[in-house]
Structure 1
Amino acid sequence: MKKSENLNYLERLKKIIKIISNSNEFHQTISELSESIIASNSANKIVAIYGNGGSAADAQHFSAELMGTYLRKDRKSYRSIALTADTSFMTAWSNDFAFSSVFSRQIEALSSNIGLSIGLSTSGKSENVLNALKLSNSLDIKTVLISGENCPEHDFVKKIFRVPSDETSIIQTVTQIMYHSICNELEKV
């Protein structure tokens, strides 16, 4: 990669970070999600997080930060699960039935224990993520979708946060900034 290409990416990222840093919606979303995670845990419920590809990795990273620690080693653990982590289930279900229901099947099985359902999809169009959010909503589980600027409206999602970019790598980086910001808020509790 040429230095100019890398600088170009960094400039685009810097621009988006400046936008979200000054965005009331971003800060309100961080506050709302932090409160929802606290409420879910206070009700002895878990936070279910899921996505595909890089978003699957982000789901696992976010869940690890919630259950483990972020900066403070003495903070309480928050109940969470990355629905992307059980590769035996995911590959068996996808092979024998359908990848489109790989997350919703897990939501169905765990629904009595889930207080918050967070889907990650840079496009906002991933069928398996949307199916899990639809099922979660029908089961009265609070739903959140973190996506890019071109994410369509979904009436079954209670909160959609659109990263102001259509570039996958930028959306994923801002998603990481979001969940680290949420963990930072949770450290204050």
Structure 2
Amino acid sequence: MSTAGRAAPAHLGALYPFLYAQPAPTVDAFTAELVVSTAGKLREAALLRAQVLTEQGEALAACARSLAVALDTGGRLFAFGNGGSATDAQACADLFAAPPHGYGAPSLAAYALSADVAVLSALANDVGVEAVFARQVAAHARPGDVAVGFSTSGNSPNLVAAFDRARRCGMVTVGFSGGGGGRLAEPGAVDHLFVVRSPSVHRIQEAQTTACHVLWELTVAELCGADGRPSAAQGVLADDRNTGAACAGR
């Protein structure tokens, strides 16, 4: 279909001027447009982060207390998600297991269920994509562990299945979602849910990353106490007994 004479969408006309009748904008005009667009996105991201922390700050603190109790008594954290949310899950696990230098935070037993390509592809091929996280939870988890799932919609079937298995295993369940929360917002779906109310996948993931960092900082504060010294949780990483068989048959 010819585009001659048609008005170009702002974001396409500049990138593909040969498709449209109007001349391409000058470099200065294009740069100015990019600056305005970038500034607008930064403002939106900052406002959304502030909104999440203001509206859900108390819930984050309550969740941190639950995580501190779980991790301080031998619990382990398992994080999972799909696509970009898989990367967020890995970042979450890394934050707990290998905290930034200078924080004085303990290294805690934390793992990303989205990290092992061999396990993921085997489960997806032999069982189905819906089971890639739930099967790992059944294999590794024990009562008192923590399950953290990331989703921009809250409707991913494999996350819902993983949380269902986690509940039956007696795990503390923590969900990060977007939009209206999706299926993760249903009663009893998870113990702690943090919803970024935005239609933009990009803004949702940015705010979820911030909320996860805040959750980690609050958890570390609960674990270390006022004197800043780690409690027994610092030894959790070495105490990594695999007693997940108790959950596998439930």
Same fold (TM over 0.5): yes
3-state DSSP of counterpart to 1:112: coil
Alignment-derived partner of residue 45 in structure 2 = 13
Alignment of 1:46-57 (within 5 A): 46-57=76-87
Q: CA deviation at 1:113?
A: 6.5
99, 119, 134: which one pairs with 2:164? 134
Q: RMSD over aligned Cα, in angstroms?
A: 1.8
Alignment-derived partner of residue 231 in structure 2 = none
Specify the structure having the higher radius of gyration (Cα): 2
Between the aligned partners of 2:171 and 2:197, the Cα distance in structure 1 is 27
Q: CA deviation at 1:71?
A: 5.0
94, 105, 124: which one pairs with 2:154? 124
Between the aligned partners of 1:18 and 1:59, the Cα distance in structure 2 is 22
1:74-97 C-alpha deviation (Å, 9 max, x unpaired)? 321121111111111001111222
Alignment-derived partner of residue 216 in structure 2 = 183
Between the aligned partners of 1:59 and 1:124, the Cα distance in structure 2 is 14
Unaligned runs of 5+ in 1: none
Between the aligned partners of 1:186 and 1:144, the Cα distance in structure 2 is 13
More strand by share: 1
53, 74, 85: which one pairs with 1:44? 74
Contact kept? 1:70, 1:183, Cα under 8 Å: no
TM-score (norm 1): 0.90
Between the aligned partners of 1:160 and 1:73, the Cα distance in structure 2 is 26
Provide the identity percentage.
Answer: 23
Alignment-derived partner of residue 111 in structure 1 = 141
Equivalent pairs, count? 187
Between the aligned partners of 1:187 and 1:142, the Cα distance in structure 2 is 17
Between the aligned partners of 2:75 and 2:44, the Cα distance in structure 1 is 38
Unaligned runs of 5+ in 2: 1-10, 12-33, 225-250
Between the aligned partners of 2:103 and 2:193, the Cα distance in structure 1 is 31
Q: Which is further off, 116-125 or 7-16? A: 7-16
Contact kept? 1:46, 1:79, Cα under 8 Å: yes
